[in-house]
Copies of this chain bind each other. A is one copy, B any other.
Amino acid sequence: MSFNSFGRVFRFSTWGESHGPAIGAVVDGCPPGLALSEADIQPWLDLRKPGTSKFTTQRREPDAVRILSGVFEGRTTGTPISLMIDNTDQRSKDYSDVAKAYRPGHADYAYDAKYGFRDYRGGGRSSARETASRVAAGAVARAVIPDVDIFAYVSEIGGDGIDHANFDPAQIAENPFFCPDAQAARRWEKLVDDARLDGSSLGAVVECVAAGVPAGWGAPLYAKLDSELAAAMMSINAVKGVEIGDGFAAARLRGEQNADPMRPGADGPTFLANHAGGIAGGISTGQPIKLRVAFKPTSSILIPVDTVTREGEASQIITKGRHDPCVGIRGVPVVEAMMALVLADQKLLHRAQCGDRAAD
Whether the pair B234, A240 counts as a contact (CB closer than 8 A) is no
Interface residue tally for chain A (C-beta within 8 Å): 158
Complex Cα–Cα for A104 and B111 (A): 46
Name which residue of chain B comes closest to A206, CB basis. B251
Q: Which of A52-60, A172-180, A212-220 contacts B (4 or more CB under 8 A)?
A: A212-220
Q: Does A340 contact B (CB under 8 A)?
A: no
Q: Does A152 contact B (CB under 8 A)?
A: no
Considering only residues 212-264 of chain A, those with a C-beta below 8 Å from chain B are 214-224, 226-235, 239-248, 250-264
Complex Cα–Cα for A214 and B260 (A): 43
> When the two chains form the complex, which single residue of B5, B14, B20 contacts A2, counting CB atoms closer than 8 Å?
B5
Whether the pair B117, A77 counts as a contact (CB closer than 8 A) is yes
Complex Cα–Cα for A113 and B358 (A): 7
Whether the pair B297, A250 counts as a contact (CB closer than 8 A) is yes
Whether the pair A69, B23 counts as a contact (CB closer than 8 A) is yes
A65 vs chain B, min Cβ distance (A): 13
User: Can you sample 22 A-B contacts with CB below 8 Å?
Assistant: A3-B219, A5-B222, A13-B26, A22-B68, A29-B352, A32-B114, A33-B117, A78-B114, A104-B260, A105-B255, A107-B280, A107-B282, A113-B286, A114-B283, A115-B354, A201-B255, A204-B251, A255-B300, A264-B308, A264-B312, A275-B296, A352-B352
